[in-house]
Each structure stands twice: as structure tokens, then as C-alpha cells.
Structure 1
Amino acid sequence: MPDVIRERAGVPVLVCDPAGPPLVTEQDALDLIGAAFAGAEVVAVPASRLGDDFFALGTRFAGEVMQKFVNYRIRLVVVGDISRHLAASSALRALVYESNRADQVWFVPDLDALDARLRAGS
């Protein structure tokens, strides 16, 4: 399945294919943002498409990607099991906790959790 824009809980979401290309550069993030400009407010990226550099906060890659989405006012949602990464990093646990308290970047276990979050309004 290619990356497609689908309405989820009344919100247009670019749902990214788990088998799609990995997001490993800032340009990859910008490409997803560009695809979202076709009408999506949210980009749902499977955690499987994010490399270890994203979850290793010392690389600063996650911050760079997240900032791109904030700058373009497109919500980023990382979808999937990241428990392995969370177990290895208290800093990542803190980032996920704080992100999920806000409205711009979320980490959710699956698309059903994304739907529930969207229905709740934040």
C-alpha cells in the first residue's frame, strides 16, 4: 500500500505505508511534509520506518525532524511499538511523555489509538 491520505476521526491523515522507504534524512521528512500538503493535517509514520538514529536522541535527528513538522504546521504521529527504544533511554521516555501531552507530535501504539486521540481533540 502506498502512503495515502485517509480521513480518520474526521481529520485528513497521511497514513504512511509500513513497507515504505525509511525516514533517515531531513529531506525524507520534507518529502512527507510535501506529500501532506495534498490535504493532510497529520502524518502517521510507522515506527518501523524510523531508524535507530531517530530514537537515539544524542544524534539530534528526532529533534530536527520534529522541528520540520512544527515549522510547517503538520502534526507528526509515530505509530507503533517503540518499547525497545523506551527501555534504553530515559531521555526518550521523557520526550514521548512531553510530546504526548502537547498537540504537535504524538507517539501512539496503533492507528486505533490515533483515532481515539483525534476524536478527543488533542
Structure 2
Amino acid sequence: MSDQTREPARAPEELAALFNRRANAGDVEGLVALYEPDAVLAAGRVVATGHAEIRTFYADLLARKSDFRAPETPPPLRNGALAMTFAQLPKGAFSVEVAREQADGTWLWAIDQLKLAPPKA
């Protein structure tokens, strides 16, 4: 799927749904397209900065064949052109993201903090 055929997020609350749809489709490039070029994604000990590192992170994650669902999540908290979004991920993980409105009115994540679920005892 090319960038021209991927729908953009027109509101911050659309980002999580787009993420789940693209992750379940195995669309690594589509996931990367949800982030600003210099975005930072932190997941445990991994800190990925920029599209190239975020691409590597998601290629590895999607290789594990997780099922991404969109359970009920709190609505984004907005302050002008910034929004804090939330997502629940497989196996009890969750993430909190900072999205920013772009000049064209679309929204992209600038910061993504993934909290991995603790291992089961």
C-alpha cells in the first residue's frame, strides 16, 4: 500500500484505529507513516528515534504475529495542536502517545511510550 492510498488521521482519536488496522494487516510502512519523521518511540529498553528505527522496531514486532485489537480506551486529551492518546496492546501492554496536528490538518504521533506487560509468574 502506498502513502497516497493510506488514509491519514484527521483527528487524534483516529490514530489508534489506524494503528490496529495497519498492524493486523502487517503494514510496517503504514505504521511508520503514523509518526512524525523525528518521532521517538520507547518500549522497555528500546528507544527508536526517527522513521528508520521505528520501522525496524515494528518489523520485529509484527514478525511475532500479535493480534491488535481496539478495546475501549480513554478519549484523547487535547490542548490546541497537541493531544495525548492511549492504546491497549496485546498481552496487557499499553501505550501513551503525544500526537501533534500537522500543517495540513492531519495528526501524527511525535512521542510514543509503550509499557510492556510484566511477565506472568
Bigger proportion of residues as helix? 1
Bigger proportion of residues as strand? 2
The structure showing larger relative contact order (alpha-carbon pairs under 8 Å, at least 6 residues apart) is 2
